[in-house]
Amino acid sequence: MKNVLHVLLLGVTLSLVGCVAKVTDEKPGPKPAYKDRVETRYQKNVDQVFEASKRALNSFGNVTRASNVLTGTNDVRTVEGFINGQGVYIRIEKVDPKTTATVIQVRTKLGGTDLRTASDMAHAIAVQLE
């Protein structure tokens, strides 16, 4: 009976690993109950932050995809890539003409989060903007 319970708990755990949405999805969904992203704002326009994000990600790892997300009125761009085998997802969204918000997620190979790398990416974007 104990082994059956362990197998059942393992199955539920494995099925929940893939249930968290990425910020680069067109509809990223609600935030989870735990902190899995770093949010920052920059006093620059979307194009400048988008280019700085690509340069920052290239300095740590590599960019696998950079694109625009088609939404109603907001200008939204996304950048995806890898740093040391971890997936990096950056959402860049215009708040107003002079302010841009970024949301950065870093996922480990097993689906966990790496907030330290996400914070380092936010800092690297700020350095690229200077």
According to the model, what pLDDT value does residue 126 have? 92
Note the pLDDT tens digit of each residue in 18-72. Answer: 555 665 555 555 555 567 788 999 999 888 999 999 999 999 888 888 887 766 6
Torsion over CA: 38, 42, 44, 48 (sign): negative
Q: In what order do the strands lie in the sheet with 86-96?
A: 38-42, 99-107, 86-96, 76-83, 62-69
Question: CA-CA distance, 126 to 130, in Å (whole number)?
Answer: 7
Domain 22-129 sits in CATH 3.30.110.40: no
The answer, yes or no, to whether residue 15 has pLDDT greater than 60, is no
According to the model, what pLDDT value does residue 97 have? 84
What are the residue boundaries of the structural domains of the chain, listed by start?
Answer: 22-129
